[in-house]
């Protein structure tokens, strides 16, 4: 359950301390570090210098949604791959067509010069049907064995191997309503306030944000700060011994938030301290209820993340896992060395407590997913991840959905090649959904257990957005995407989907009952939108639209999508940064902010 392994020999020190595994450095940085980011919200990409948008490269690429170039059959392709190509039925009512082999796509005429002319209606129908079928192929489905075996079987029949944000769970059943968010009388928002980036000596992680009835709470420099919801004034500041280095996605009903922080302040030249302290903050009063550290031998355990389930605060890292009582801070369990080279890397919280447990060596690891009794820490059920999985992320604890990059096959830094729908009571696999990383936009930090974004679970479904792709006109700037749903019991793609529309891109944020709350990244001449998407029909309802004037657009677009927290509640939309450094102001007058709030009239 919580035993740490001996440290690997001859390994370099972890440059981020408790943020990740000490061997070798992971692709994804630790707490507070955004993914590789591009331009801010709403800015169009630069068109190619030598060709007009839409011209194929050499060789020409398939249209969006098609699998890649045809490949010869490969024997024993490995866990989760189909042995022979299936003939899936096209969704959305399209007629069934004879399908090419897995990995192939039908020939399509090259686009007309200029990329702006429409295809004939007949050709559009043919292409649309092929794309719909390819989406099923591209997001392959693997079903659990009929005998309910909890272990994944490899190509030779042997057992292979022992993730908001994302992970919010919605209502049960067929969706359709039940959310708390209501449509405001006036959905046109204005900038409520802006908070400047504080002075910091070096790059500083300030990940996370939380909303109470009165405050928007955000990490600061060696502190946690609460801002008035409507005016942005500071309501309280909680000084800490060092920088926050982790915090729970889950808050108790009475406003208690588990956090991680450093024991001392960072100093030059290294500007680093290990992440060793765990505590609980009362978000209503700004008081630190309790704090503690976990001992491993003569040292303090380095922690990388913390979560909450019921009354249990659970923290994990490469030194193992520990748990505490939420109210008192009394220990419930600590790391133990039982000689089996296993340890709890981290936990997924919420309605259940799930441990991601690592065993073995870095080069030959095995990963277990354990549903725990949150009081005793004893496993209630267990699922062995397939061979080739070094890390796993809990997308949702109940229903239990886990994401992993099997064999490091994702290739795009998303940390996801597959989603696993697991029966949390028995530990048996219900369905494995293989995600094409080039088509779907959900992400998980590789070494973080509860870090997935843009993957939501509710209504017995997994909701994920597609990657941005060419819009219906085929013209430059028409890029868009969709939200697709998959049944957790069968892995099948649902026929309904939400279409963002040309020039808009969905960013799923959280579940609201049976509905999806999503941000819609807007074109350059519009403001971003917050919408509620019905989890059953996938029809959207506008909740908030930001202003389109440049004075309002510049703050919204100063945030990079991969490095920001997005929160919406009761007609208020907050954008806040996760990683700050010395404030920047460009020659055009644009400026970076720690936090920007938009709100509809009240």
pLDDT of 168 higher than 90: no
Per-residue confidence (pLDDT) for residue 562, from 0 to 100: 84
DSSP three-state, residue 19? helix
pLDDT tens-digit map of 386-397: 999 999 999 999
pLDDT band of residue 339 (cuts 50, 70, 90) is: low
Q: What is the mean pLDDT of residues 272-294?
A: 98
Question: pLDDT confidence of 338, banded at 50, 70, 90?
Answer: low
Contact residues for 31 (Cβ-Cβ < 8 A; gap 6+):
16, 19, 205, 207, 245, 246, 260, 275, 304, 305, 448
Reported as a pLDDT band with limits 50, 70 and 90, residue 363 is confident
CA–CA separation, 277 and 119 (whole Å): 61
Q: How far is the C-alpha of 183 from the C-alpha of 180, rounded, in Å?
A: 10
Lowest mean pLDDT among 157-166, 293-302, 573-582: 157-166
- Two tokens, residue 497: 């989907």
Taking only the tens place, the pLDDT of each residue in 229-267 is 999 999 999 999 999 999 999 999 999 999 999 999 999
What would the mean pLDDT of 311-336 be, rounded to a whole number? 96
The torsion of the CA quartet 376, 377, 378, 383, rounded to 10 degrees, works out to 160
Domains of the chain: 17-45+139-599 (2.130.10.10)
Gap between the Cα atoms of 221 and 200, Å rounded: 7
Tell me: the pLDDT tens digits for 411-435? 777 899 999 999 999 999 999 998 9
pLDDT at residue 152 tops 90: no
What does the pLDDT average to over 560-587? 88
Q: Looking at residue 428, what is its pLDDT?
A: 98
Contact between 452 and 442 (Cβ < 8 Å): yes
- Tens of pLDDT, residue by residue over 450-462, are 999 999 999 999 9
pLDDT for residue 563 is more than 50: yes
CA dihedral sign of residues 426, 446, 2, 278: negative
Q: Give the pLDDT confidence of 65-115 residue by residue, as tens digits.
A: 333 333 333 333 333 333 333 333 333 233 333 333 323 333 333 333 333
Query: Is 321 in contact with 358 (CB distance < 8 Å)?
Result: no
């Amino acid at each position: 359950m919580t035993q740490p392994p001996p440290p690997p020999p001859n390994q370099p020190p972890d440059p981020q301390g408790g943020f990740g595994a000490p061997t070798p450095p992971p692709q994804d940085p630790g707490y507070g570090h955004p993914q590789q980011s591009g331009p801010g919200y709403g800015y169009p990409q630069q068109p190619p210098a030598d060709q007009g948008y839409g011209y194929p490269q050499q060789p020409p690429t398939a249209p969006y949604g098609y699998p890649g170039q045809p490949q010869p059959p490969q024997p024993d392709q490995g866990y989760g791959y189909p042995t022979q190509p299936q003939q899936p039925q096209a969704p959305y009512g399209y007629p069934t067509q004879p399908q090419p082999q897995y990995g192939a796509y039908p020939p399509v005429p090259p686009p007309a010069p200029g990329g702006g002319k429409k295809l004939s209606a007949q050709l559009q129908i043919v292409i649309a049907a092929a794309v719909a079928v390819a989406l099923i192929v591209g997001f392959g489905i693997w079903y659990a064995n009929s005998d309910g075996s909890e272990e994944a079987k490899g190509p030779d029949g042997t057992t292979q191997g022992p993730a908001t944000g994302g992970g919010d769970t919605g209502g049960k059943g067929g969706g359709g309503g039940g959310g708390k968010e209501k449509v405001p009388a006036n959905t046109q928002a204005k900038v409520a306030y802006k908070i400047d980036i504080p002075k910091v000596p070096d790059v500083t992680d300030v990940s996370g944000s939380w909303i109470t009835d009165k405050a928007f709470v955000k990490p600061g420099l060696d502190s946690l700060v609460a801002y008035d919801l409507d005016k942005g004034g500071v309501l309280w500041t909680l000084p800490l011994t060092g920088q926050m280095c982790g915090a729970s996605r889950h808050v108790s009903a009475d406003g208690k938030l588990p956090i991680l922080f450093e024991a001392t302040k960072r100093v030059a030249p290294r500007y680093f301290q290990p992440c060793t302290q765990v505590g609980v903050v009362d978000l209503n009063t700004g008081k630190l209820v309790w704090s503690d550290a976990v001992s491993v031998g003569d040292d303090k355990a380095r922690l990388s993340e913390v979560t909450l389930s019921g009354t249990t605060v659970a923290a994990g890292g490469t030194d193992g896992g520990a748990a505490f009582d939420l109210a008192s801070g009394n220990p419930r369990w600590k790391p133990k060395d039982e000689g089996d080279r296993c340890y709890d890397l981290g936990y997924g919280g919420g309605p259940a407590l799930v441990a991601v447990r690592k065993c073995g060596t870095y080069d030959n690891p095995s990963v277990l997913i354990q549903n725990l009794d949150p009081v005793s820490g004893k496993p209630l059920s267990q699922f062995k991840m397939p061979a080739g999985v070094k890390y796993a992320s809990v997308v949702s604890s109940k229903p239990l959905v886990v994401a992993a990059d099997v064999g490091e096959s994702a290739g795009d830094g998303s940390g996801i090649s597959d989603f696993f729908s697991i029966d949390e009571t028995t530990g048996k696999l219900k369905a494995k959904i293989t995600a094409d990383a080039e088509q779907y936009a959900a992400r998980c930090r590789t070494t973080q257990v509860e870090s997935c974004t843009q993957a939501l679970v509710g209504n017995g479904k997994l909701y994920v957005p597609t990657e941005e792709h060419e819009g219906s006109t085929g013209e430059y700037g028409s890029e868009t995407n969709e939200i697709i749903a998959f049944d957790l019991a069968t892995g099948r793609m649902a026929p309904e989907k939400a279409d963002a529309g040309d020039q808009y891109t969905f960013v799923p944020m959280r579940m609201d009952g049976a509905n999806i709350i999503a941000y819609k990244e807007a074109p350059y001449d519009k403001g971003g939108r917050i919408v509620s998407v019905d989890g059953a029909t996938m029809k959207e309802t506008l909740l908030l639209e930001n202003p389109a004037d440049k004075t309002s657009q510049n703050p919204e677009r100063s945030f990079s999508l991969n490095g920001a927290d997005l929160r919406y509640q009761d007609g208020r939309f907050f954008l806040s940064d996760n990683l700050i450094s010395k404030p920047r102001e460009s020659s055009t007058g644009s400026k970076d902010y720690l936090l920007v709030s938009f709100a509809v009239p009240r």
